[in-house]
Structure 1
Amino acid sequence: MSTFISGSVAYDTILRFDGVFADHLLAGSLNTINLTFQTPNMDKHFGGCAANIACSLKMTGGEPLIVTTVGKDSQDYLNHLQSLAIRTDGIKIIKNAFTPQAFITTDRLGNQMTAFHEGAMAWADQALPTENEKLDWAIVTPTATPVMKAHINYLNEHRIPTIWDMGQASAYLSGQNIGWFLEHVDVLTLSSYEWDVLKQKTGLDIKSVAQKLTATIITKGDKGALLYANGDSDYFPALTLNGPTYPVGCGDAFRGGLLRGLTLRWDWTDTLHLATLMGAIKAQSPEAQGYSVTTDEIARRFERAFGKTVNLKD
């Protein structure tokens, strides 16, 4: 069976700023910001939430089906996905638009500023699986509100359990729309910052949100993740890493591991441990998709980290 992944397939331009953003923001001048950051390092990579999650899920033994749209400049990206044995038949090409583009600037503390051009993704509601596609789980990641709703309606109609990754959609969704999503999905994933936005826009506390869902997962970067499920809460610390770490794409790798645990019907503890491990593996690579690891190696690392033998095969 395949796992439905909705969201962006995008080209990423990564810029690194040696300073700290906060040092350049003046409290009395935030309504007239005009900043230039010198970024001595720049890289261009394959990115986008849907593709990043698909790569992580594929490495853990899953079968991702990316359901989205790309533009007239997408052929090298499609070739890249095919080289990783990731299906591209759920991706529709929009010939009069560009593939989504993300411009991500990271300061020396790991804080990020991102500008995103959605391009062809504005038509992603036109991308849907064939009617005979067999799906086990799904994740819907940030796109235009009508696109996310169209995909969630499709998944609800086909009774596919669904994760909603609120992500960057926290910036533009109204409290009313957030409420709609919480009523139509099974699992919510979001960062601690996005959780603060959700609380502010909806007035809901964690107990109220958790009661609506099978699980709510709040990620805290290198400080781990919180799980709220079955009326309880659990904390999962991040793994300790040596050497430099790279935050871009770590959350997507985490969600790929999360999906694999769910498709294997693992309990929440093993599932969150796999998600944590995949986030840590990605953190050691500067590219969102620039790492490669086999299922056997993931299983060995899982046993070393958590003292348990797991089987990543269906």
Structure 2
Amino acid sequence: MRIAVTGSIATDHLMVFPGRFAEQLIKEQLEHVSLSFLADGLQVRRGGVGANIAFGLGVLGLDPLLVGAAGVDFAEYRAWLRAHGVDTSAVRVSQSLHTARFVCTTDREHNQIATFYAGAMAEAPLIDLAEVLARRGRPALVLVGADDPEAMVRHTTAAHRLEVPVAADPSQQLARLERVQARRLVDGARWLFTNEYEAALLAERTGWRPQEVLDRVGTWITTLGDAGVSLARSGVPALRVPAVPTQDIADPTGAGDAFRSGFLAGLSWRLPTVQAARLGCALATTALESVGTQQHKVVPADLIVRIEQAYGQDAARTVEPKLAAVS
């Protein structure tokens, strides 16, 4: 089962502030904030939700097709993705703009303040998904990740027209979406991804109550941080999958993207939905223990041990044959 991943391609500039953001904020001055945080360190990493998810699928051996827009500086990044199993033939490379930039500072309590510069992502609406799939072959699923909002709507419309199942993952772009856009992205999705905050924002942006959202999608997956993941379908009780615990959090950036990679890999391997979510949680914890969104190492034996410790021997046995085939 091949997956086309649409979404942003970016470079992450990650900094660590040794204090607490909350201690620097004055309640009476929140309308006039002007702050500078002295960071202890800087990590420059490859990122973007589309590239992150494709990377995770690539290292699991799924040969994902990445669909997005990058800049004139993309050559080294392209080589990295190809070396990790990602098909970059559908990436549009701008002739004038640089690849998007994500600048994020994390405090000692893992709170984050970030800024995103779109750069070449502004050209994503020029990508014709139908033409891409005609050249590269019809995938079993199209994930529509955070990208230029117009591109997200175009990709969703094209996938539905081609009758290719859609996984909707609006994530960071929810705040920018208009009501019509948000509804088009959600309505008819086979899978819908949000975190807990985004779930509330999705209701505000679409104007739909949670049950109305569930009536329009197949399964709504909500990541809950260290509380795990919720899997909700209309007409049946929601299922809760606990997180895979860790005492060694290095960087929370990209854990959600790693979860999506593991979950989608599980679906590709035709694992039960709950088991796919468990694999996603294991991969998310691996990402938490690394700085940067594409620095975690996928070691099949380690993932199997994590799954067994968190969910039991039966869960580990279910996924072991698939992970054993990952080189």
* Matched residue type, 1:252: D
Q: Which residue of 2 aligns with 1:131?
A: 134
Instruction: Give the secondary structure class of the aligned counterpart of 2:279.
Output: helix
Instruction: Please report the RMSD computed on the Cα atoms of aligned residues, expressed in angstroms.
Output: 1.8
Q: Which residue of 2 aligns with 1:167?
A: 171
Q: Does 1:257 align with 2:262?
A: yes
CA–CA distance in structure 2, aligned partners of residues 62 and 304 of structure 1: 25
Q: Which residue of 2 aligns with 1:21?
A: 21
In structure 2, relative to structure 1, the CA distance for the partners of 1:66 and 1:246 (3 Å cut) is same
Matched residues, number: 314
CA–CA distance in structure 2, aligned partners of residues 151 and 185 of structure 1: 12
CA–CA distance in structure 2, aligned partners of residues 165 and 130 of structure 1: 20
Gaps of at least 5 residues in structure 2 are none
Q: Which residue of 2 aligns with 1:152?
A: 156
Q: Does 1:223 align with 2:210?
A: no
Deviation readout 1:77-108 (Å, 9 max, x if unpaired)? 11111221321101111111111111011111
In structure 2, relative to structure 1, the CA distance for the partners of 1:230 and 1:263 (3 Å cut) is farther
Q: Which residue of 2 aligns with 1:82?
A: 82
Q: Does 1:113 align with 2:113?
A: yes
CA–CA distance in structure 2, aligned partners of residues 294 and 270 of structure 1: 18
CA–CA distance in structure 2, aligned partners of residues 301 and 30 of structure 1: 43
Counterpart of 1:142 (choices 135, 142, 146) is: 146
CA–CA distance in structure 2, aligned partners of residues 159 and 202 of structure 1: 23
Q: Which residue of 1 aligns with 2:274?
A: 269
Normalized against structure 2, the TM-score is what? Answer: 0.90
Contact map agreement 1:5 1:140 (CA 8 A) in 2: yes
* Matched residue type, 2:193: T
In structure 2, relative to structure 1, the CA distance for the partners of 1:296 and 1:134 (3 Å cut) is farther
Counterpart of 1:187 (choices 187, 191, 206) is: 191
Contact map agreement 2:140 2:165 (CA 8 A) in 1: yes
Judge which range, 294-303 or 227-236, deviates more: 294-303
Q: Return the offset for 1:31.
A: 1.7
Q: Return the offset for 1:130.
A: 4.0
In structure 2, relative to structure 1, the CA distance for the partners of 1:143 and 1:45 (3 Å cut) is same
Instruction: Give the secondary structure class of the aligned counterpart of 1:72.
Output: coil
Relative contact order (C-alpha < 8 Å, sep 6+): which is higher?
Answer: 1
Q: Which residue of 2 aligns with 1:286?
A: 291
Q: Return the offset for 1:229.
A: 1.9
Contact map agreement 2:8 2:50 (CA 8 A) in 1: yes
Deviation readout 1:12-45 (Å, 9 max, x if unpaired)? 1001111222222223222211111111111101
Deviation readout 1:198-229 (Å, 9 max, x if unpaired)? 22333433222112110111112122111102
* Matched residue type, 1:263: S
CA–CA distance in structure 2, aligned partners of residues 246 and 222 of structure 1: 14
CA–CA distance in structure 2, aligned partners of residues 299 and 18 of structure 1: 34
CA–CA distance in structure 2, aligned partners of residues 223 and 168 of structure 1: 21
* Matched residue type, 1:55: F
CA–CA distance in structure 2, aligned partners of residues 138 and 171 of structure 1: 22
Counterpart of 2:243 (choices 220, 238, 247) is: 238
Instruction: Give the secondary structure class of the aligned counterpart of 2:73.
Output: coil
CA–CA distance in structure 2, aligned partners of residues 202 and 149 of structure 1: 14
Judge which range, 117-126 or 198-207, deviates more: 198-207
Q: Which residue of 1 aligns with 2:212?
A: 208
Q: Return the offset for 1:264.
A: 2.1
Judge which range, 17-26 or 103-112, deviates more: 17-26
Instruction: Give the secondary structure class of the aligned counterpart of 1:169.
Output: helix
Normalized against structure 1, the TM-score is what? Answer: 0.94
Q: Return the offset for 1:178.
A: 1.5
Gaps of at least 5 residues in structure 1 are none
Q: Return the offset for 1:136.
A: 1.2
Contact map agreement 1:261 1:271 (CA 8 A) in 2: yes
Deviation readout 1:109-161 (Å, 9 max, x if unpaired)? 11111111111111113333240513011211111211001111121122111
In structure 2, relative to structure 1, the CA distance for the partners of 1:137 and 1:87 (3 Å cut) is same
CA–CA distance in structure 2, aligned partners of residues 126 and 300 of structure 1: 44
Q: Return the offset for 1:295.
A: 4.2
* Matched residue type, 1:253: A
Contact map agreement 1:59 1:294 (CA 8 A) in 2: no
CA–CA distance in structure 2, aligned partners of residues 296 and 126 of structure 1: 42
